[in-house]
């Protein structure tokens, strides 16, 4: 089994990606390196933040690594929360607070269209690659479902009547922003024989 580092401390993300990678890879995370604090994400773009995290680990530990950053981009809010999606309601990064703020800001707005976008930076053998996944959809009027994490209870992907939080993990992985980006990453690794 091959080993790859996912520069995250988010256990939900690790589980999601591990399910997609299957038995081909053993994923190590920041905790395996004794890093319990999040690596600062101060770039103005998702791609920039993914690069910061991947480069930090690659340079410090000389390993093959990938990192992601995800943003929820709401049309009626000019793309907000975007790069500050995780800390939209404050530095505590509480999903409940973030969703409450989002639903409040969309009250009375007819256009609830939005997209989730994930950028992944892979550094392998010293070379850097970027992958992107986008899932279009809309923000629900209220929370629904108990699966997933983050904004999943309020995001309904295009072509669906259910939120991400109402779907099984494997079902969500087929259409989600992170799922699509990780599929591109997996295809790339397989083509390289990694």
Q: Please report the domains of the chain, with CATH numbers, ordered by start residue.
A: 2-188 (3.90.950.10)
β-sheet bridge partners, residue 4: 27
Q: What is the pTM of this model?
A: 0.91
Choice among 23, 32, 38, 69 that is catalytic: 69
Both tokens of 191, joined, read: 């083509």
Report DSSP letters for 159-187, one per residue.
T-SS-GGGS-HHHHHHHSHHHHHHHHHHH
* Cα–Cα distance measured from residue 170 to residue 189, given in angstroms and rounded to the nearest whole number: 21
Is 125 one of the catalytic residues?
no
Would you state the torsion angle of the CA atoms of residues 187, 192, 189, 69, taken in this order, to the nearest 10 degrees? -100
User: What is the full per-residue pLDDT of the chain (194 aa) written as tens digits?
Assistant: 688 899 998 888 888 888 888 888 889 999 988 888 778 889 999 999 999 999 999 999 999 999 999 999 999 999 999 999 999 999 989 999 999 999 999 999 999 999 999 999 999 999 999 999 999 999 999 999 999 889 999 999 999 999 999 999 889 989 999 999 999 999 998 888 76
């Amino acid at each position: 089994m091959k080993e790859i580092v996912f520069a995250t401390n988010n256990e939900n993300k690790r589980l999601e990606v591990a399910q997609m990678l299957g038995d081909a890879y053993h994923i190590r995370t920041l905790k395996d390196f004794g890093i319990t604090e999040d690596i600062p994400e101060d770039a103005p773009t998702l791609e920039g933040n993914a690069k910061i995290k991947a480069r930090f680990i690659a340079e410090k530990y000389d390993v093959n690594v990938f990192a992601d950053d995800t943003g929820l981009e709401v049309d009626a809010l000019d793309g907000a929360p975007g790069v500050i999606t995780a800390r939209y309601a404050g530095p505590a990064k509480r999903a409940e607070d973030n969703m409450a703020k989002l639903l409040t800001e969309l009250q009375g707005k007819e256009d609830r269209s939005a997209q989730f976008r994930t950028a992944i930076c892979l550094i392998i053998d010293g070379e850097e690659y970027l992958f992107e996944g986008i899932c279009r959809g809309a923000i629900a009027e209220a929370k629904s479902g108990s699966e997933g994490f983050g904004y999943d209870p309020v995001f309904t992907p295009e072509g669906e009547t259910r939120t991400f939080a109402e779907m099984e993990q494997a079902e969500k992985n087929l259409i989600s922003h992170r799922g699509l980006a990780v599929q591109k990453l997996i295809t790339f690794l397989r083509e390289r024989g990694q």
